[in-house]
Amino acid sequence: MSIPRITIVVASSLDGRIAFPQGGESHLGSEEDRKMLDQNLSMVDATIFGLGTLKAHESTYLIKNHNRNNEAKISKSQPISIVASNSKKFNSNWKYFTQPIRRWLISSSKVDNLSNNEFEKQLFFEDSWKKTLISLKKRGINDLALLGGAQLINSFIKEDLITDIKITIIPRIIGGRYTWIPPEQTNAIFNLKRLWEIKSIKNLMNNEIHIHYKKI
- pLDDT-wise least confident of 10-24, 92-106, 199-213: 10-24
Tell me the β-bridge partners of 46. 80, 144
14: nearest Cα among 179, 158, 146: 179
**Which of the pair, 162 or 114, is modelled with greater confidence?**
162
3-state SS, residue 43: coil
**Which of the pair, 87 or 130, is modelled with greater confidence?**
130
Q: Are 181 and 153 in contact (CB under 8 A)?
A: yes
Percent of the chain at pLDDT > 70 equals: 90
In 10 A of CB 174, how many CB atoms?
A: 18
User: What is the rounded distance in angstroms from the CA atom of residue 215 to the CA atom of residue 8?
Assistant: 12
For 98-116, what is each residue's pLDDT tens digit?
999 999 999 987 665 554 5
pLDDT at 179 exceeding the cut of 70 = yes
Mean of pLDDT values over 34-49:
96
For 127-144, what is each residue's pLDDT tens digit?
899 999 999 999 999 999
Domain spans of the chain, in order of start? 5-215
CATH superfamily ID and name for 5-215: Dihydrofolate Reductase, subunit A (3.40.430.10)
User: What is the rounded distance in angstroms from the CA atom of residue 32 to the CA atom of residue 38?
Assistant: 10
Q: Model-level pTM?
A: 0.90
